[in-house]
Chain A
Amino acid sequence: MFAEWLFAAFSILAVLGGIGLVTFRHPMNSAMSLVVTMISLAGLYALLSAKLIFAIQLIVYAGAIMSLIIFIIMFLNVRTEDLPEEKGRFLYLFGGVVVLAPVFFFLKKIIQSIPATKATILGDGFGGIKEVGLVLFKDWLLPFEIVSILLLVALVGAVVLAGKRRMSK
């Protein structure tokens, strides 16, 4: 019973944060709404007993990525008059809702055709660091290495992008 109330609260917060993200005009307000969404998603992961993902969502998403985005917004010193003019923003939003509503109801129908499963009681270690780490390094070793190559490429790309400006000066 308590878990249902928590789910309702977190999901309402997440959806409100998302709506705030797409409707606020200034990117700083949008970033703050996205932080609300990220934190409530972390709460949902905890409800799904994914302990490691809960911690990583808070540290990496709500911590690192969002603070990077907010740092960039502050760094660019965006003022209200610098923002692109978005006169037809709500019109486009309305049009997007009209286009996406059939997609949403179609997916909803698919989701409701999934056989209902009761939430079973899990073992102690589900979602803990040790268990996820065992799965990661046993069954998913090759994708893990590919992700490390991707991070290396991103690192080199960031250095190249940052160094170009200095050369052109």
Chain B
Amino acid sequence: MIQNYLILSVILFCIGILGVVSRRNVLIVFMSIELMLNAANLAFIAFSRFHESMDGHVLALMVMAVAAAEAALALAVVILLHKHKGKLDTDVFSLLKG
């Protein structure tokens, strides 16, 4: 029973990694990262259900707060770079180094 949930979580995480490594669109890379965070949440909730302790729920809440903060900042950076360069390519982000 718990195995099914964990395998689904691993599948979603692998799909997220695929999106990060194979796409060049910044927004899709960002959404793939959100998908990976969700997969981790699913594993937390599944373990929490089968161990009957609610610590996993608290951790899932923390992950959601971190995801919200990340969404606000990452989208602000995407908008600024799009204003400067007019592109959504991940190559534009090489401006950020140094």
Contact = CB atoms under 8 A, between A and B. Distances in A.
Given A37-B38, A126-B52, A154-B69, A73 B27 contact: yes
A112 B66 CA distance: 30
Contacts of A30: 27-28, 31
Given A21-B31, A64-B68, A136 B61 contact: yes
B55 A60 contact: no
Interface residues on A, range: 35 or more
Contacts of A100: 14, 17-18
A111 B22 contact: no
B60 A86 contact: no
Contacts of B12: 14-15, 18, 37
Given A22-B18, A136-B58, A84 B24 contact: yes
Contact of A111 (B3, B23, B62): B3
Given A15-B8, A21-B19, A150 B66 contact: yes
Interface in A88-128: 89, 92-93, 95-97, 100, 103-104, 107-108, 111-112, 114, 116-120, 122, 126-127
Interface string A48-75: 1110110011001100110011001101
Interface in B1-36: 1-8, 10-12, 14-19, 21-25, 27-28, 30-32, 34-35
Interface of A: 7, 11, 14-15, 18-19, 21-22, 27, 30-31, 34, 37-38, 41, 44-45, 48-50, 52-53, 56-57, 60-61, 64-65, 68-69, 72-73, 75-76, 78, 82-86, 89, 92-93, 95-97, 100, 103-104, 107-108, 111-112, 114, 116-120, 122, 126-127, 131-132, 135-136, 139-140, 143-144, 147, 150-151, 153-155, 157-158, 161-162, 164-165
